[in-house]
Amino acid sequence: MTHFADPTRLRPVVSAATIPALLVCLAAPAFFVLRAPWLAWVLLAVGLAVALFMERRLFVEHGHRRPEVARVERREPSLTRDLSLIALGLLVVSTIDLAAKLDNLSMVKFTLALGGAVVLPYVISRWVYGDRAIAFPWRGGGRWKRWQWVWLGGVLVLGWLILPFYFITSGVYQNWPVVNTPELIARLFVGVGAVGIWDELFFICVVFALLRRHFADSSANVLQAIVFVSFLWELGYRAWGPLLTIPFALLQAVIFARTRSLAYVVTVHLLFDAVVFSVLVHAHNPGLLDAIFLVPAP
């Protein structure tokens, strides 16, 4: 099975499988927004149990005793397996406090947890399930087209116009640590960029890729956005931040589905995060970058 959804197989917008998929994805706001781990665990357990029940019932109806044999014969991906990989990633991320911190220990924890949330599902998909459902097509779409280059400039302009107003007027810049020394500014730069790359590896190449094996791109996109935005909320994009992060999450998946290029969506994200980084430095150091942004530092 390739990374991309099989274009010859009809993928529904909504089906019975939407129920367990939605339950698993709703574990993200339970973990990262409500901060209710017990609720998230229940949602994950029920979602996986419902998916398994549905698959076994379907196989029985088709006269198969062994679900794995029926799946091979029908050439269909397993919903239970794919949802279990998403659940595993969420569980790994939930083991750490996602509050932005720049000390050595916190950065090591971030690296291990976020890295594990990508590596473990990839390893299990490839060498345990043997279906290669997760891949990282760096240059899958070939050379970038004119509209892609234009959009890169658009990202910078929109970020420059919107992000200072959002971070400073809402006060959410305070969700990130004060960066008032060269070392702290350098650490922030590395941290913001690393998390931005991870966002695309996990939410697009893992969550979105697994969901679109079972649902139309539009449905898979909405489901992955639930997970994406919940993580960003915990990371610090609060107040009216979802008005920005929801469109961003949806658009990144659309661009990836169209371009099949991880390199491009990562580039878009890093340009956006470059503005985020600059705004955070601006907000914590009045007078340093006032000539660049329209909104003055507090």
**Could you read off the pLDDT of 207-228 as tens digits, one per residue?**
999 999 999 999 999 999 999 9
Could you report how far apart the first and last alpha carbons of the chain are, in Å? 52
Q: Report, as an integer, the average pLDDT of 241-252.
A: 97
The answer on pLDDT for 285 being more than 90 is yes
The answer on pLDDT for 149 being more than 60 is yes
What is the pLDDT, as a whole number, of residue 76? 81
Percent of the chain with pLDDT over 70: 91
Q: Report, as an integer, the average pLDDT of 225-240.
A: 97
What is the pLDDT, as a whole number, of residue 68? 55
Asked whether 162 and 123 are in contact (CB, 8 A), the reply is no
What is the pLDDT, as a whole number, of residue 57? 81
What is the pLDDT, as a whole number, of residue 232? 97
- Mean pLDDT of all residues in the chain? 92
The answer on pLDDT for 263 being more than 70 is yes
As a whole number of angstroms, the distance between CA 274 and CA 267 comes to 10
